A = this chain, B = another copy of it.
Amino acid sequence: MIQTDMIDKSSVIPIYYQLFKLLEEQIRRGDLKPGEAIPTEHEISSHFEISRMTVRRAIAELVSAGMVYAQQGRGTFVATPKLDNIVFELNDFNQEIKQRGLNYKTTLLEAKIIRADKELRDKFELGEDYKRFLYFRTVLSAEDERLSYEVKYTIYSKSKPILETELKDPSLPGLIATHTEYVPMSAKKVLQVAACTEEEASILGIASNSPVFLIEQTVYDQDLKPVGWSKAVYRGDRYKLTSYDGWYKKD
C-alpha cells in the first residue's frame, strides 16, 4: 500500500503532518479514488508503527480539507470534489489593491451629527428617544482615481465626540469602536448589483447608471443589537471577486 520509509519519525516535521501530506498526495494522484475507502486507522497505525491518535490527527486534517469523510462503523472514504460551493472573500476588494502596491487612501468627505428620522430608527430597531446619529461619508481612492463611495451611520454617544478630521480606521467597525461605546461583535453584509445614481456617478467620476457593486452592512454588538449601518458603492469596472474551489494544489 504505502512505503514505510516515507514517514520519518525523527524529522522536525510532525508525523501527523507527514502522514497528512502522504495521504493527500495519494488522493490527488488518484491512487485513492472518490468513494473508495482509505486504509483503516488501525491499519495505518500498525503499518507505520505510530499511535492511532497521531493517525486520527492526520485524517482530521484531510476531513477539514474536505478530501475525505468518516463514517462511524464503516470507514473513511475519499470525497468527491465539490465545485458548486463558491466562496468569495471580500478581502479581495481592498487587499488586491494593496497587493498591487497602489497608492490608496480613504478620504473623509463629511462627518457630522444628524437627527434621526423614522427610517434610521427602524434600521437600528430604536424608539423615539434616540434622536441623534453619527454620519460619515468617505471615498476610497487609488492613484488619484476614486474607486468607492460609502456612507456610514452609528448611534451617537456623547462621551466620545468626533475629534479628528483624519480617520485612522475608516471601516464601519473601526468607527464604531472609536466613536461610540459599543463593541462590534458581528456583521451582516449584503452584496447586490445596481446602476449608480447621478450623485454616486459624479463622486466616482463615472457615467450615470454605470453598473456598480452595492454593499450594505449592519454591525451588531454582543447582544445582537444593531450599532452601525453603511452603504458602499464600488466601481464595477475596477472591482472583481475571485474564488478558487476544489482540490487545487497549493505547493
Q: Name A residues whose Cβ lies closer than 8 Å to a Cβ of B.
A: 28-30, 53, 64, 81, 83-91, 93, 171-173, 184-195, 209-213, 215, 219-220, 222, 224, 236, 239-249
Contact between A28 and B222 (Cβ–Cβ < 8 Å)? yes
Contact between B88 and A241 (Cβ–Cβ < 8 Å)? yes
One of B188, B213, B236 near A243 (C-beta < 8 A): B188
How distant is A152 from chain B, measured CB to nearest CB, in Å?
Answer: 13
| 29 A–B contacts, CB within 8 A, in A order | A29-B222, A83-B173, A83-B187, A83-B219, A84-B171, A84-B173, A86-B89, A86-B91, A87-B87, A87-B88, A88-B241, A90-B243, A185-B247, A185-B248, A186-B245, A186-B247, A187-B244, A188-B243, A188-B245, A189-B243, A190-B240, A191-B242, A192-B236, A192-B241, A193-B212, A193-B213, A195-B209, A209-B209, A220-B248
Number of copies: 2
A192 to B224, CA, bound (A): 32
